[in-house]
Amino acid sequence: MAGATIAAYLAPKGVRIALIDHCFKEKKRIVGELLQPGAVLSLKQMEMGHLLNDFDAQLVDGYALLQGNEKITIAYPTPHNGVGLHNGRFLQKIRESALQNESVTQIHGKALQLLENAQHEIIGVSYREVGTSEIKEIHAPLTITSDGFFSNFRESLSNNEKSVTSYFIGVILKDCDMPFPKHGHVFLSGPTPFICYPISSNEVRLLVDFPGDQLPRKALLQKHLDTNVTPYIPECMQKCYQKALLDGGFKVMPNHYMAAKPIIRKGAVMLGDALNMRHPLTGGGLTAVFSDIEILSAHLLAMPDFSNLDLIHDKIEAYYRDRQQANANLNILANALYGVMSNDLLKTAVFKYLQLGGKNAQESISILAGLNRNHYSLIKQFFFLAVFGAFDLVRQGVGNLPNSLKLLFDALLIIKPLAKNELTVKAVVSGYFKK
Ligand SMILES: Cc1cc2nc3c(=O)[nH]c(=O)nc-3n(C[C@H](O)[C@H](O)[C@H](O)COP(=O)(O)OP(=O)(O)OC[C@H]3O[C@@H](n4cnc5c(N)ncnc54)[C@H](O)[C@@H]3O)c2cc1C
């Protein structure tokens, strides 16, 4: 997504690009299927909004939360909307748009290694060409590595380890009536959350969380669905859900968390999941990717050309600095909300808090939508939620005081490490030997 999109954006502006991927076929993935309004806005700002047309992508107006028999909906701030889509189809549209430019060379190959000169500056990449299996080299003043969450290049360009928070089990529900059409749904009744949203006019993606860092075996997966999901699927979705279970075809993906800790080296920059990941519960991945592309491109396009390597280096530094500010809310919210949804006291508190509606619900959804990047808003809403939840428990009876304190303590445990990781200015390591 990241590589093809930045190529599609920069190529018409006269930048010569080699787009390397080891697979240019349409992929069937369970990732990147809900674009939050922030992602849609970035695409429009880059004049790429038309790439969402003509492949049955669906407008999404807001979110629905369901807990027991209670349901609430919260609309995205007007005039914004999200989009549900088949990731593979969307990626093909982006690639087509990139490859129609004469300045883009398509290279069908597996990128192997960054190439370095004697000063350890990166001068390109080696790759194994698909078809011939020949190992070739390509040289460039700037190499953008965006090879996704299993990145080969993280070791050279980043100072961080990824961790698995949980797994998502994905299944497509055909001809399914969701309780609220054109909405993303979050189901809170079971012990772990599950979500769904439309990805075409007759398909709904269901993603079920499987906690822990161990890949669920088939028997365990079935037990999880039977016990923690099936009883909580709404009546209107049961038929298509049962059919999907019978048809099989589950896909399972790990959900990672990794704050961005880039190592700045001359000649290379990281983009997308290779650099930074958050839990996909909030669908924030592509909002971060597209926003990063806008930021990096704005810095690169401010140069007269790509001949001054020192200037490129300054631009990369500026990109890493600016993107951290822009993405902190997305990163914190995704993992904080996952923590909240996996905690009974906080889960109930968030439902009741949003049920109140009004300004706080609106501010919360604008953060989720990727439209509000103000860190103060996020911390304020999280603090309000915790205090509201604690107060609500005590209001029901003084005997709830221990639970109320536990809720506050749990909220602090969730937010503190995330805020530390994402909000403190990281000393970005500059130069090869300082790793
Ligand atoms: C279960 C799940 C659900 C998600 N749902 C959403 C969602 O609804 N909304 C959202 O916004 N985000 C979502 N995300 C996150 C989002 O999908 C990612 O943030 C986004 O795809 C990252 O884009 P990328 O370009 O960095 O990586 P990718 O999209 O993974 O692209 C990496 C590319 O690199 C290529 N590649 C890899 N290695 C090499 C190599 N050595 N040589 C050549 N090519 C190579 C691959 O073929 C691929 O095309 C989800 C993530 C998960 C795990």
pLDDT of 431 reads: 47
Ligand 1 pocket, residues with Cβ under 6 angstroms: 1-3, 20-23, 30-35, 39, 110-111, 146-148, 152, 168, 253, 255, 272-274, 280, 283-287, 289
Calpha distance 63→76 (Å, rounded): 8
Give every strand in the sheet of 58-60, ordered side by side: 34-35, 82-84, 58-60
Q: Is the pTM of this model over 0.75?
A: yes
Tell me the per-residue pLDDT of 87-117, one tens digit each, with 9 for 90 and over: 999 999 999 999 999 999 999 999 999 999 9
Last residue of a domain, one of 256, 273, 291: 256
Residues 197, 57 contacting (CB under 8 angstroms):
no
pLDDT at 351 over 90: yes
Q: Are residues 138 and 190 in the same domain?
A: no
Tell me the per-residue pLDDT of 368-418, one tens digit each, with 9 for 90 and over: 999 999 999 999 999 999 999 999 999 999 999 999 999 999 999 999 999
Domain region containing 184? 163-256
Residues 354, 294 contacting (CB under 8 angstroms):
no
Calpha distance 61→49 (Å, rounded): 17
Q: Are residues 129 and 277 in the same domain?
A: yes
The closest alpha carbon to 87, from 16, 31, 15, belongs to 31
Q: Are residues 11 and 143 in the same domain?
A: yes
pLDDT band at 427 (very low <50, low <70, confident <90, very high): very low
Calpha distance 276→330 (Å, rounded): 11
Q: Are residues 148 and 10 in the same domain?
A: yes
Taking CA atoms, 157 is separated from 237, 250, 269, 270, 432, in Å, by 45, 34, 8, 7, 9
Looking at residue 321, its amino acid is R
* 3 state SS of 178: coil
* Counted domains in the chain: 3
Last residue of a domain, one of 268, 293, 326: 326
Nearest CA to ligand 1 atom 35: 147
- For 9, the token pair is 């954006």
Q: Are residues 155 and 295 in the same domain?
A: yes
- For 321, the token pair is 């600095």
pLDDT at 263 over 90: yes
Which of 22, 24, 27, 31 for a ligand 1 pocket mutation test, highest count of atoms within 8 Å of Cβ?
A: 31
Query: At a CB cut-off of 8 Å and minimum separation 6, what does 51 contact?
Result: 8, 43, 90, 93, 94, 97
